[in-house]
Structure 1
Amino acid sequence: MTKNEMTKSAASHIQSTQAKGGKDMSSSGFSARAQSAAAHNENASRGSASGGGYGDNSGNQSQTKK
């Protein structure tokens, strides 16, 4: 992550501060957007290291027991 990317820790701090200050805690509020950005950044960093989790079973058909 670059130094400007939102982390889960920073998002948690923002959310706590916003709640204590009686600020907007709606799904369109700043703390929700910070939480969303942190989740996005974490998923993006996991995706680049593990291939994104897409296509793990590519080409394999599901098998059912008979």
Structure 2
Amino acid sequence: MSKAKPMSPKAAARIQAAGAAKTGGQTAKGGFVARAQRAAAKGSNPFSAKK
């Protein structure tokens, strides 16, 4: 099995665009789109705490 890659902001934006197009612009709080955005923000911040 391959090692997981961090979520990039570009990938998160693509996911958000696809999700918004499917639901008429609405995204659920805490849904997959929100989690993707959070992961991208956490992964792209060089000052975030790594666990």
State how many pairs are aligned: 46
Q: Which has the higher contact order (CA 8 A, sep 6+)?
A: 2
The sequence identity of aligned pairs, in percent, is: 37
Q: Which segments of 5 or more consecutive residues in structure 2 lack a partner in the other structure? A: none
Q: Which segments of 5 or more consecutive residues in structure 1 lack a partner in the other structure? A: 53-66
Q: CA RMSD in A?
A: 2.5
Normalised TM-score (structure 2):
0.72
The structure that has the greater radius of gyration is: 1
After superposing on structure 2, the runs of 4+ consecutive aligned residues of structure 1 that deviate more than 4 Å are: none
Measured after TM superposition, the shift of residue 47 of structure 1 is 2.5
